[in-house]
Amino acid sequence: MTTTVIIGGSFAGMTAALEIKRKGKDQHKVILIDKSPLFLFIPSLIWVPFGRREIKDISFKKEDILKKKGVDFVHAEAISVNTNTQIVTTDKGDFKYDHLVVATGPKVKYNVAPGVEEYTHYIGTPNGAMKARKALEEFKKNPGAIVIGATQNAGCMGAAYEFLFNTEKWLREQNIRKKVDLYWVTPEDYLGHFGIDGMPLGETMLKSFMKMFNIHYRTQVGIQEVTENKVKLTNGEEIDYKFSMMMPPFIGVDFVTNSPTLQATTNGYIPVGDDYKHSTIPNVWAAGIAVDVKLPFTPKTVPFASPKTGYPSDETGKIVAENIVRTAKGQTNLKKKAWGKIPGVCIMDAGKKEVIIFSDHLFKPRNFAIMLPNVIYDFNKVILEKYFLWKTKKGYSFLP
């Protein structure tokens, strides 16, 4: 029997675990290790600060689903791995493996600039989203300027855009929009770059949104410093504010940086080939955010990264699962799909409106790419949320 240990239980980890067991059946023992007992649909965290979702609405315990599908779940924190002995060390004991899948997700680099951690909010975690909700409730009593954006080296601009437009909608609902100067700051070369070198008509569409919603924007800027009442940009500009949300960069988690034999990059990501097998360690694999992704472009002024969203995480989890099953059978023809060749599939919420983004490849060159605005209601975004939660609760990892 082949034993695979998977570190991390979000999009990539859950998918890889369920697919290895589904395809490998009794020939494969699968152990998923995660410090959180909950599966969280992270894209919907953008709605939590505004009370449109509660954390309980977008999360559920994953142990029962995994157990039902034959996957062993270990609720523990993975501390390190020794790839020479093939042993993972956790706070609840050691685990021996034949194959290791690193699907750990990100660590947030809050200290990217002085004051970012102390004075701005981050809505990428349940705790952070709830803190932002509380801060916005206080903000209503004494409104002022709001600064929302992404710092230098950030890669998750899409979620920050979503929060921006949802904030604008919320301000109107609270009848305080006229009292608030709303700013968007981003390291992107242009509006709608998204870390993927944009989409057809994307910049034009985003510019029209900014004009329509009266949002001031700055591109090709980073954060120099944040104080209690000022956001200082790398271009020398200072913006007074009463509330700020910033999307910081992602780096590799402590499990990776604590494991020198993993031979990770300086940012703590796993170097892999197009089959998501480690470039030098044949029984180590990576999926999702843990994958080291090389940008096919160079940012003009301020550095930023590529997004690592739910869809490519899910896809790489499936590829890793297929390749581990093939490898265990002695096959050498592994499935390959470079990160940039994965289709771009995203629905960007724009404050009870939405933009459907689809392309045949994440990175250029592309044969097909389109952005479709829906100004009526964000029902596609809601449907996607309901579908993915249903799919995951049922353990239907094989579905798109």
> Average pLDDT, stretch 99-128?
97
Of the pLDDT bands very low, low, confident and very high (cuts 50, 70, 90), residue 231 is very high
**Residue 333, pLDDT score:** 97
**Residue 375, pLDDT score:** 87
CB 254, CB 157: distance < 8 Å: no
User: 311: helix, coil or strand?
Assistant: helix
User: 164: helix, coil or strand?
Assistant: helix
Cβ burial, residue 203 (10 Å; 0-12/13-18/19+): middle
Write out pLDDT tens, residues 343-386.
999 999 999 999 999 999 999 999 999 999 998 899 999 999 99
Written as one string, the DSSP assignment of 85-114 is TTEEEETTEEEE-SEEEE----EE-GGGST
User: 354: helix, coil or strand?
Assistant: strand
Write out pLDDT tens, residues 296-352.
999 999 999 999 988 999 999 999 999 999 999 999 999 999 999 999 999 999 999
DSSP H helices in the chain: 11-24, 63-68, 116-119, 126-141, 157-173, 202-212, 254-257, 310-328, 379-394
Domains and CATH numbers, the chain: 2-107+250-339 (3.50.50.60), 109-249 (3.50.50.60)
Of the pLDDT bands very low, low, confident and very high (cuts 50, 70, 90), residue 105 is confident
Q: Is the pLDDT of residue 88 over 90?
A: yes
Q: Given the DSSP bridges, would you call strands 93-96 and 223-226 parallel, antiparallel or unpaired?
A: unpaired
Write out pLDDT tens, residues 211-226.
999 999 999 999 999 9
Write out pLDDT tens, residues 134-173.
999 999 999 999 999 999 999 999 999 999 999 999 999 9
**Residue 84, pLDDT score:** 98
Write out pLDDT tens, residues 181-198.
999 999 999 999 999 999
Total-model pTM: 0.96
